[in-house]
């Protein structure tokens, strides 16, 4: 006899690493995933080699059928989902907004795992913005999807601390595991009619807009503690950078330091030979890990052995 999990037909939609733990959890608890929908294969890296999304790689490994539509607003896509007759659609960082026709197909609706405590940080980059804005607490929310962007009723949520040295990468990894756990709990409660959707307070909503490559440019006029948080928030994407002699330098780790010097923000301060301290709008920032335009990621001591950055010069 099949268990209750096997009787529940699921369509899973997701694309990046963040979605993988949820798909693995559905497999672990023997849910019937009839189809995995993910974005088309895309070229990546300097060689522009076509690669599968992390979700596609995982789906193939687990033996699931994979569908990669170029558009979800087509009759073909709707008909494919309709034929499956899903009881529920699970969406995790899919990268597309589902149409009302698709949302109305499943018996239990479509649910989404979002990496914030909604209505805070609606949008595509909640993890990054929580760190950039120096939040201490964030979390994961499972919600019923509607036609808006992260505006649906909340089902379950769980809080998580943002650690002092968290980057967007490390925090996202933890939240993805939390999301997988509460997804399973949500499915159990939802199918047993033991969960009551709660409307979001839309007046308290904040937005987490998509970060583009140019958004990693450091503004040295900000206080040092805000720049340090910014660097962590945009690591690994889009990556924090500045310019020295018109050459791009990526910065990965830093620490705020106090200083009585009143220098133009971005000015390289006099310091020990194996240190690099930059004046900011308030205090200074000691750089710990960075990467030159054509080099590799290095600790500051190793970087300065082969790259001179003169005191008094100004980073832009």
Confidence of residue 1 (pLDDT cuts 50, 70, 90): very low
Residues above pLDDT 70, as percent of the chain: 97
Q: What is the pLDDT of residue 172?
A: 98
3 state SS of 5: helix
Q: In 3D, which of 243, 244, 234 has the Cα closest to residue 209?
A: 234
Burial 109-123 (b: 16+ CB within 10 A, else e): bbbbbbbbbbbbbbb
- Rounded to whole angstroms, the Cα distance separating 228 from 233 reads 9
Residues 152, 193 within the same domain: yes
Residues 152, 254 within the same domain: no
**Average pLDDT over the chain, rounded to an integer:** 95
Residues 195, 224 within the same domain: no
**146 lies in some domain:** yes
**140 lies in some domain:** yes
Place of tokens 């993805």: 176
Q: What is the pLDDT of residue 57?
A: 97
- The total of structural domains in the chain comes to 2
**288 lies in some domain:** yes
Residues 63, 124 within the same domain: yes
CATH, residue 141: 3.40.50.170
Per-residue model confidence as pLDDT tens digits over 61-105: 999 999 999 999 999 999 999 999 999 999 999 988 999 999 999
2: pLDDT strictly greater than 90: no
For residue 25, what are the domain limits?
Answer: 4-204
**153 lies in some domain:** yes
Q: In 3D, which of 113, 102, 152 has the Cα closest to residue 21?
A: 113
Tell me, letter by letter, the H, E, C secondary structure of 242-280. Answer: EEECCEEEEEEEEEEECCCCCCCCCEEECCCCCCCEEEC
Per-residue model confidence as pLDDT tens digits over 170-220: 999 999 999 999 999 999 999 899 999 999 999 999 999 999 999 999 999
Domain boundary among 161, 178, 204: 204
Domain boundary among 150, 185, 204: 204
Residue 152: which region, alpha, beta or left (left: phi > 0; alpha: psi -120 to 50)? Answer: beta
**312 lies in some domain:** no
């Amino acid at each position: 006899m099949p268990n209750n999990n096997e009787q529940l037909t699921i369509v899973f939609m997701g694309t990046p690493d963040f979605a993988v733990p949820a798909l693995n959890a559905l497999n672990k608890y023997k849910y019937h995933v009839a189809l995995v929908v993910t974005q088309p294969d895309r070229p990546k890296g300097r060689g522009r080699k076509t690669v599968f999304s992390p979700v596609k790689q995982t789906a193939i490994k687990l033996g699931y059928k994979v569908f990669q539509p170029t558009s979800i607003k087509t009759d073909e896509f709707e008909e494919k989902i309709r034929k499956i007759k899903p009881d529920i659609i699970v969406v995790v960082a899919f990268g597309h907004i589902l149409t009302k026709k698709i949302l109305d197909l499943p018996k239990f609706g479509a649910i989404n795992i979002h990496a914030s405590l909604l209505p805070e940080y609606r949008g595509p980059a909640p993890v990054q913005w929580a760190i950039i804005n120096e939040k201490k607490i964030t979390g994961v929310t499972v919600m019923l999807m509607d036609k808006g962007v992260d505006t649906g009723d909340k089902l379950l949520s769980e809080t998580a601390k943002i650690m002092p040295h968290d980057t967007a990468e490390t925090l996202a990894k933890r939240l993805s595991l939390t999301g997988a756990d509460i997804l399973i709990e949500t499915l159990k409660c939802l199918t047993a009619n033991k969960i009551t959707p709660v409307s979001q307070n839309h007046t308290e909503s904040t937005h987490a807009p998509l970060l583009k490559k140019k958004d990693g440019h450091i503004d040295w006029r900000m206080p040092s503690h805000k720049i340090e948080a910014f660097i962590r928030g945009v690591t690994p994407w889009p990556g924090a950078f500045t310019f020295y002699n018109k050459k791009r330098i990526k910065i990965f780790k830093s620490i705020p330091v106090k200083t009585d010097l009143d220098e133009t923000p971005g000015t390289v301060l006099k310091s020990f030979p194996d240190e690099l301290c930059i004046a900011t709008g308030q205090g200074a920032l000691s750089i710990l890990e960075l990467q030159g335009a054509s080099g590799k990621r290095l600790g500051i001591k190793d970087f300065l052995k082969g790259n001179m950055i003169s005191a008094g010069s100004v980073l832009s």
